Chains A and B, each alone.
Chain A
């Protein structure tokens, strides 16, 4: 009996961790693509929150989860496009443009969402493979999630594969490492950066939609509550590698949920200390990773955040 309870607890914590981590996985992986192409977009929070309201308003209007995700992708990309025009075409400062995008996104989503607070989204579809979801432990942990969790994992795999194994990935990395060389070789630097920025926006939009469609599921102003900034930190934490970003997001989500559960269990632990834990763990791993300082620095895209001027 005791044993079952313990298993249940562990499964509950792991399932909770995956839920808490999924918005971060999506947003961080998207930002990672943009940064690998040399674009530092600090507007993740803004793109996420606009994705959240876009997805929510679409599901209210149509009742379709697929259309809601599409709306979130389009809205996130549209925000990213705005950033790209400012930072890539007009060569505005990337840091300032990104911060402005976040502020704009928070304001726009609040305006857009005025009529939507208090409404309820229909339940998001879950994976249902006959019988598998009822298996003990594995059922809940492997087969019991909503579809976006699997989509997020598939997207991480796709990004990892594309960056490492495809020609397009190679071009993206080349543009991020040395845009002048890439340009000399005939690659359309600005077009590649536009594409990477849009991918980043689309995934941030999905991450926001996960919050408003699956995790809570409701719309409240500013509901992303800083997750965009954590996603940005995770990219550095991951040394710009997709699988590490996934691991980092799960670690962060896992510790967040673990500390909430340990409080719910009635363990005598210090809540403030626990609240710090995810951040402490992130710093600790970051320090550990930076001991391979040279590798970390080599991994940071050399042209990250630098404007590109085509030389004749």
Chain B
């Protein structure tokens, strides 16, 4: 959970300044929704801390999502056919209950999320401003499934005139292929996690395409460290050396510790 929140926070931070379609009504609705969410989860936490049985259980949809969905739907309809419809449609895609919570093995074809995604594919894949939504949409694979998202990314690649948008679509395909390798999975230490290593090869080829075909785009800048990670930082590889300074200004290199077991900890107090 923590990981998702961090990622989302980072993505929102990265993407917000690029938001091209100001829609005050959407912004206001989002703020209202965020406030309702915060209140809901704070109450849940307080109940748990007091040792009370929380009034909400994980088998149901959190009340704010259920209550706000019709409002986001109405806004998407009101903005239908214009680029401003995309933000509420994306909300609908991302706020469906994830399959891991519903126990479904296949994404539902008739959900609000599935319909919203199809509308984005049909009506908005060629809009320049779609670019800013693509990176966060990648995580909607838990609600609408990878195949449906892949259709969106392919549609943007094929029909969008903007290099930024095409680059993000290509980057998103690569990142989706690589995601199972991004974090350690149970069984990794024994070399036994269930994944197709060919996906990692496909991912790196696709990241390279982003650099080659769309140089200078934001997606290209983000593809670079992914290529480094896949080529240099996988389990079993020789760790590349780096250096930096400590609080006293003394240079520290990773290779200073050769011969020792190293626990390398990327951290902060925040």
Q: Do A and B come from one complex?
A: no
